[in-house]
Structure 1
Amino acid sequence: MAEAKNQLFDSDLQELAQLFKALGHPARLQILKFLASKNACFTGDISDEVPLGRTTVNQHLAELRKAGLIQGTVQGVKTNYCINPSVVKHLEEMGKDFFDGLSIIECTDC
């Protein structure tokens, strides 16, 4: 039912909402910051970098992959994680356009 209601909105808003949803947990933000700080792909256990259990971290990684914000490739028993720069850049542009389009007015009666 919720999926059908999403169709009432234009595709840009739907896409932006999905990306914002993927960013809607501090663990996911920390994972992105960690990967960005490496300036390269990371092969290892990201759960060592986030104060959550491995299973929970893997669920957050799956959400970030589903949104396209990160890429993961399997190398043997390890997964190589990278930020997807084109999707992050697209998010940056869409977010800027969205927030630039909001009129911010001081409310003196609020």
Structure 2
Amino acid sequence: MKEETYSRLFMELAPLLDALSHPARLQILLHLSRFKSCPAGNISHRLPLCKSTVSQHMARLKETGLISGIPAGTSLQYHLNLGKVNQMKQQFLQFIDLISNEGEQKSDCSPLLTEKNEFLPDK
């Protein structure tokens, strides 16, 4: 993928939305939102999935920065990164604003190649 083809908003938002694209990860985020922190074992007991599957989903959420784990004895205490969640919320709302321009006048989509394509970088 050519990163220069996409706006910064799209490049930052896409991996976050991808991380949210599985119901188990949504459940994990909801569970963590209810507590200051939560042991990994507690999370796996709350979901109808084996520990290794939950661990894989947790790793995906950690990659994006939506959650963090802090060592606590022999396990990890996980918590939701509210700063990252709020950043994602703002970016998603910005994207929704971009695509929901119902009140604005829209033009016809033309296949003419001579018109500037706003989705591709200028040459």
TM-score if structure 1 supplies the norm length? 0.85
In structure 1, the gaps of 5 or more residues are 106-110
Count of residues in correspondence between the two structures: 101
Confirm or deny that 1:58 pairs with 2:36.
no
Kindly indicate whether residue 24 of structure 2 is the aligned counterpart of residue 41 of structure 1: no
Cα deviation, residue 104, structure 1: 6.0
Distance of 1:6 and 1:23 partners within structure 2:
21
Give the partner amino acid of 1:83: L
Q: Relative contact order, CA 8 A, sep 6+: which one is greater?
A: 2
Computing the radius of gyration over CA atoms, which structure comes out larger, 1 or 2? 2
User: Partners in 2 of 1:16 and 1:55 — Cα distance?
Assistant: 27
Aligned position for 1:102: 99
Q: 1:16 aligns with which of 13, 18, 38?
A: 13
Deviation at 1:88, TM superposition (A): 0.2
Identity across matched positions, percent: 37
Name the CA distance, whole Å, in 2 between partners of 1:51 and 1:102.
36
Correspondences of 1:48-87 after superposition (within 5 Å): 48-87=45-84
Q: Which residue does 1:28 correspond to in 2?
A: 25
Unaligned runs of 5+ in 2: 103-123
Looking at structure 1, the residues matched to 50 and 91 of structure 2 have their Cα atoms a distance apart, in angstroms, of: 33
Q: TM-score, structure 2 length as denominator?
A: 0.76
Rounded Cα–Cα distance in structure 2 between residues aligned with 1:30 and 1:104 = 32
Post-superposition shift, 1:78?
1.1
The letter of the residue matching 1:87 is K
